[in-house]
Amino acid sequence: MLPHPLIPIPAGLAARYSGSSAGRSWLSLLPDLVERCLDQWRLTPDLAPGSVPWHGHGAIVIPVRRENGSAAVLKVAFPHDEAKLERHALALWGGRGAVSLLAADAEACSMLLERLDAGRSAAELPLDEAAHVWGGTVRQLGLVPDHRSEWRKFGHIAARAEQWSDDFPAEWEQLGRPFPRWLLEAALEVCQTRGAVGRRSAHDVLVHTDLHFLNILARPAAPVEGAAAAEAGGGTAGGYAAIDPQPMIGEPEFAVAPLLWNRLRDLPADQPDKGLLRRCRSFSTAAGLDPEVSRQWAIAREVDNALWSAAHGKSGDLARSLWVASTLAGRTLEGLPHAHALPEPGE
């Protein structure tokens, strides 16, 4: 094949990884990794002149054309644990509820994927329609473990909860007790209860643990309006598909939490606390999940986020996590900003 034009590295991705020696090393290798994958899979970049590839938190995503002319994307990720697991989950899902995996190169931490519509995510949908789309996606993704070797790659949610039971108290003390003890104890109760139950559960499935609104994209042929939501809610493979999985095995209710710490400005201004609980119920119900179990897992997950934010000096993220966690626990902490004034993740 003829040499490809140099693919520019997005500035945001370069800035994120230039602060460490491992990141700088990966950035220096990235042009060669991209070229290797283009040649290996006989791909042609499909970038408009002067445009820059897409990127997520940890990968460059380049629109390409395959040898037969069909559209796809090449994703080359920084080799971290989550990126290494992604291809295994996508292989199990086989395009049902998630983006289709067309090829993978484990050494390059790269994948050739179905091209979705990056401009149409569940973040653009009204919340009632987003609930149908999200719920239908979760129903499709909820595979029961079987004999396939990929299952051995994933951690168990119950084991994560057991680890939190040990870590949370120590981190809370080391960080100077950044929130009241009752909230810490609420999270520990969830870990002790759900961790034990999860170990014995006959309902464990493959869980996409980062299934927020922006990680559900429309398939290009899908309609824009409510018919797509109805189709997804009905359990077919069309309409929308999940991307960027952080796969684990366990209770599917673990997946609800990211919906509760995103789009807080869509909560009713007069009673955001009640609106948050309604959202937990509506999305859980749309996916056939137990709203109470979803609420419990979300408390533990947001306390984990709060401790991380406190450790890294992220005051805005800490305030958001504390508002969500305490509201779900039934006692919204005083002194926090209004829900609409809290930053969205990544802001």
Per-residue model confidence as pLDDT tens for the chain (347 residues): 545 667 888 888 999 899 999 999 999 999 999 999 999 999 999 988 888 888 888 899 999 999 999 999 999 999 988 888 999 999 999 999 999 999 999 999 999 999 999 889 999 999 999 999 999 999 999 999 999 999 999 999 999 999 999 999 999 999 999 999 999 999 999 999 998 765 656 679 999 999 999 999 999 975 444 433 334 333 333 599 999 999 999 999 999 999 999 999 999 999 999 999 999 999 999 999 999 999 999 999 999 999 999 999 999 999 999 999 999 999 999 999 999 999 999 88
pLDDT digits (tens, 9 = 90+) for 63-118: 999 999 999 999 999 998 888 899 999 999 999 999 999 999 999 999 999 999 98
Do residue 201 and residue 236 come from a single domain? yes
Based on the fold, state whether residues 76 and 131 are members of the same structural domain: no
Q: What is the pLDDT of residues 156-190, one digit of tens each?
A: 999 999 999 999 999 999 999 999 999 999 999 99
Is 288 in the same domain as 143?
Answer: yes
First to last CA, the chain: 42
**Final residue belonging to a domain, choices 118, 144, 167:** 118
In a domain, 58, yes or no: yes
Let me know whether 257 and 125 are in one domain. Answer: yes
Please check whether residues 88 and 218 belong to one and the same domain: no
Encoded tokens for 49: 């002149």
- Could you tell me the CATH number of the domain that includes residue 238? 3.90.1200.10
Residue 2 within a domain? no
Residue 279 counted as domain residue? yes
Position 293 scores a pLDDT of: 96
Q: How far apart are CA 271 and CA 93, in angstroms?
A: 39
In a domain, 3, yes or no: no
The pLDDT of residue 221: 72
The answer to the question of residue 6 being in a domain is no
Residue pair 77/57 in contact by the 8 Å Cβ criterion: no
Supply the pTM of this predicted model.
0.90
The answer on 168 and 19 residing in a single domain is no
157 and 50, same domain (yes or no): no
Hunting for tokens 């902490």 — which residue is that? 333
Question: 196 with 324, same domain?
Answer: yes
Q: Which residues have CB under 8 Å from 148's CB, separation 6+? A: 92
pLDDT at 4: 62
Backbone angles phi, psi at 96, to 5 degrees: -90, 105
The string of DSSP letters for 191-238 reads HHHHHHHHHH-S--EEEETT--GGGEEE-TTS-SSHHHHHHHHTT-S-
**Residue 230: predicted pLDDT:** 38
Give the residue numbers spanning the domain of 155: 121-341
Domain closes at, from 92, 118, 144 = 118
Can you give the pLDDT at residue 207?
97
The structural domain count of the chain equals 2
- Measured at the CA of 170, the angle between CA 164 and CA 176, to 5 degrees, comes to 125
pLDDT at position 7, please? Answer: 85
Measured from the Cβ of residue 126, the count of other Cβ atoms closer than 10 Å reads 10
* Predicted pLDDT at 201: 65
pLDDT score recorded for residue 237: 37
Domain finish residue from 118, 136, 151:
118
CB-count burial class (<10 Å; 0-12, 13-18, 19+) for 137: buried
Greatest Cα pair distance in the chain: 64
Residue 347 lies in a domain: no
Q: Do 327 and 234 lie in a common domain?
A: yes
Does residue 297 contact residue 275 with C-beta atoms inside 8 Å? no
DSSP 295-309: HHHHHHHHHHHHHHH
27 burial level (CB within 10 Å; 0-12, 13-18, 19+):
middle
Residue 168 is assigned to a structural domain of this protein = yes
Alpha-carbon 241 to chain mean position: 12
Q: Does 311 lie in the same domain as 171?
A: yes
Residues 178 and 303 in one domain: yes
Give the DSSP per-residue string, 111-174: EEEE--EEEEEGGGS-HHHHHHHHHHHHHHH-PPP-S-GGGGG--BHHHHHHHHHHHHHHHHHH
Can you give the CATH number for the domain in which 40 is found? 3.30.200.20
Distance CA 125, CA 213 (A): 9
Looking at the domain assignment, is residue 163 inside a domain?
yes
Q: Are 209 and 281 found together in one domain?
A: yes
What does the alpha-carbon distance between residue 79 and residue 61 come to, in Å, rounded to a whole number?
A: 14
